[in-house]
Structure 1
Amino acid sequence: MRTIFVLLLILLFSSCNAQFDKNNLINDWYLYKLETKDGSKPFLLKNISEKNYNIIINKNDYLLVNNQTLFSSFRDSRFKTNYNLIQNRLVTSSESSLTIEKLGKDSLILSQNIKGFEAKDLLRYFYVRKDIVLQNEIKKNLNKDTLIANNILSPTFKNPLSTRQLKDLTITKPFSVKDRPINYKFNGYIFINVQTKTVTIKLISFDNELLDQINKKSKDLIKFNNWDVASLNNFKIIKIPFAFESYYKLSKEIESYGEIYSFYSIDFNSNNEENISYQQTQKSSSLFNQALLEYQNKNYIKSIELFDQAYKYNPKKLDAYYNSAAINFGIGKKEEACKIWEYLKNEGQKIAESEYNLKCKN
């Protein structure tokens, strides 16, 4: 009986392993859909194309890249991850791997596995081959003199542009009033003439009194050599929608400032929550750990305060929301807990939806 059971296991694993052709795996893959393993939307993620979610899979390693890297000849090997293909998993360490849930000639579905992480914190990636996406985009623009750039078919800027900074005012002083960055924004279209090798900008929304400042910020954009147009020589003109924002924020504990360039749309980024600085994540993690200690010491009110601060510093600190809600509910503050669960539910979080339906609808 045991022999039959072992044979059945061997057949099962062989069947799973034979469900895909390993040769199809080695490819450049474009991400078209992203969710967490519990079916939730990725928390506060508004634009997956700018993130390192596309994947370039080689024989023994893979590279997670954004659209700019995927659709250019640029390959940065600094962030390559080695893997061993074991059955249907790309094993990267004893604690992490990617499961191949589906693999065909044109499509791929991968899901994360990290020891100690819950399904709500792990991602499922839905991919299609890059060359198919690129071919479709080229077909749509066939015989056009002017290309309206998008995140798939576009020249790439050769240097980093956007910057974000955060100062912890508990350990340093803010800028003096005269030295503070100013809040302003402008948008429009960049026109790259491939034939004459010139670049011009047409502004749409801007403050006339800040034209000198705007021209300074635009000077790098109008240098033809700063753009990689090598693969787009069949177009005469490339039109790139863009928006720029300079921001400054001052609160009791933090001072944040930066310059954000957004391409392929004239919509302003509005300093959205996707862009969180390293300093913010560090401060948030420190507050989160303090909150855990206060909870262990049964200082529940203080623990809630610290968890709330943790997600204010880093609005993506999902566990800080859940912990705050759970403790609030546990000490009888149902209304506060339900506000948090309702917010998370509206952001597509399945666990929060269950908690809200179970505990807040009565």
Structure 2
Amino acid sequence: MIRFFSLFVLYAISISSLPAQTTKSFIYGNWVKYKIRMEDGSKPIKPEFHDSTYVAFRLTKTGDSISVCKNFIPIAKQNKANCMAAVLNDSILKISNLAHYQLDYVSIDTLVFTFKVEGWTPAETPQFFMVNERLLIEKNRIKYKDSKSVTANPYFSPKIDLQPLYQDIRHSLYSYQGRFDCIGKLKINTHTKTVSCDLTDATIADSTTLRRFKKCLEKSYKYWNWEFMDNYDEIQIPFIYQHLKHPNYNIIYHQFHFFESTYAAIEKVNFVSFKSKQKADEAFKKGIDAYKLKDFVSAISYFKEAYEENETNIEPLYNVAAIYLEMGKNDKACEVWQQLIDLGQVEAEKLKKEYCKT
């Protein structure tokens, strides 16, 4: 994304330093995000940075080598494709020439770090607050200490290798090229080593397709890993499944939303299609070109279009406000900054305070 720095001067906002922990060996292990904020204190805009999204990190050390693995699907086994080598130097965990994790606080139970990328502003830079996974597991063990049947949640669940399951579904449903959603519940019996599946709702009435899909799930026992949950007789896992067609390519893909049981739950997730992102990028570039030609009216129109196509990128709104300011329309700029303030943006608060009367 081309940045429009010429419109206003960006400034760094320092974060209050957190107490340092000298025992760096505490960083190794499995960590789960419980909170996130941007470096300047702003509320995250991008869906992958929302507090409600699941993010886990696993840091391991073998000899002089450090591995950093990320996982965004709570029920999925760790995929080696999501791992990268890193080098730890003081409080910096470097993963490339352009990106690193700055360790802000480390203890046996808590890890706080900031993900730094060259060129990112404080409003774009996320700070993660992580808790040691063993604490979450222990909390759930206490909750279910007298139970033989449990309902899994993102922090207390068996893990599954999703790729072979997706392959089984793809092979079984190869003849169905449409879209459908369905709601169901898996019931995993750890003693009989069987998986049963109840489908409670579906957006199609094709019983053959639904029966084949259900059979794939009921044959999935071999893909599961119980680890700390094999002492329960039954584990229930609610899910929503989506059989989707790519908007730009003639391919079918699959998407599970585990631990959800209503369509409304997944409708709240703010996904931006590839097509919309393309349109947003094109409008953004046209806005820059129009601004260079001093065609401010067109530039504002293009930047507004860029934001409407992709509301997870707020940079176009800052550019709209900056152009209004350059045109002497401070009241209009203030309206846009207020829109950004309503989105939880700290930088907009400072700009409004500097340039607006009220």
Question: If the length of structure 2 is used for normalisation, what is the TM-score?
Answer: 0.74
Structure 1 residue matching 2:78: 3-state secondary structure: coil
**Which residue is 1:110 aligned to?**
113
> In the alignment, which residue of structure 1 is the partner of 2:86?
82
Could you tell me how far 1:277 is from its partner in structure 2?
4.8
Deviation at 1:266, TM superposition (A): 0.9
How many Å apart are 1:230 and its aligned residue? 3.1
Amino acid at match of 1:239: Q
Deviations 1:267-314 (CA, angstroms, capped at 9, x unpaired): 324445543455654553344233222222222233233323333443
Letter in 2 for 1:223: K
Question: Hey, what's the Cα distance between the residues in 1 that align with 2:297 and 2:252?
Answer: 31
Equivalent AA in structure 2 for residue 346 of structure 1? D
Matches within 5 A, 1:209-248: 209-225=205-221, 227-231=223-227, 232-245=229-242
Point out where structure 2 has 5 or more consecutive residues left out of the alignment: 1-17, 167-175
CA distance in 2, matches of 1:338, 1:211: 56
User: Partners in 2 of 1:132 and 1:263 — Cα distance?
Assistant: 22
What is the RMSD of the two structures over their aligned residues, measured on CA atoms?
A: 3.9
- Structure 1 position 18, deviation (Å): 7.6
2:256 paired residue among 252, 261, 282? 261
**Counterpart-to-counterpart distance in 2, 1:81 and 1:107:** 22
Contact 1:60–1:84, Cα closer than 8 Å, also in 2: no
How many pairs align? 326
* 1:96–1:115 contact (8 Å) kept in structure 2: yes
Q: 2:157 aligns with which of 144, 154, 157?
A: 154
Q: What is residue 345 of structure 1 aligned with on the other side?
A: 341
- Give TM-score scaled by structure 1 length: 0.73
Shift of 1:320: 2.2
**Percent identity, aligned pairs only?**
22
Determine if contact 2:334/2:352 at 8 Å carries over to the other structure: yes
Q: Residues 228 and 349 of structure 1: is their aligned pair in 2 closer, same or farther, counting only changes over 3 Å?
A: same
- Work out whether residues 283 and 306 of structure 2, in 8 Å CA contact, stay in contact via their aligned partners in 1: yes
Matched residue, 2:170: none
* Contact 1:189 1:203 survives alignment (8 Å): yes
Matched to 1:262, the amino acid is H
Q: Determine if contact 1:38/1:350 at 8 Å carries over to the other structure.
A: yes
In the aligned structure 2, how far is the partner of 1:24 from the partner of 1:207? 48
Counterpart of 1:76, as a letter, is K
1:194-246 deviation per Cα after TM superposition (whole angstroms, max 9, x unaligned):
22333333333445745455445444323233641432322221111112345
Rate the CA distance shift 1:88–1:346 in 2: closer, same or farther, 3 A.
same
Contact 1:49 1:151 in 2 (8 A): no
> Counterpart of 1:41?
43
Residues 342 and 356 of structure 1 are in contact (CA less than 8 Å); yes or no, is this contact kept in structure 2?
yes
Matches within 5 A, 1:347-362: 347-355=343-351, 362=358
Secondary structure at the counterpart of residue 302 of structure 1: helix
SS across alignment from 1:320: helix
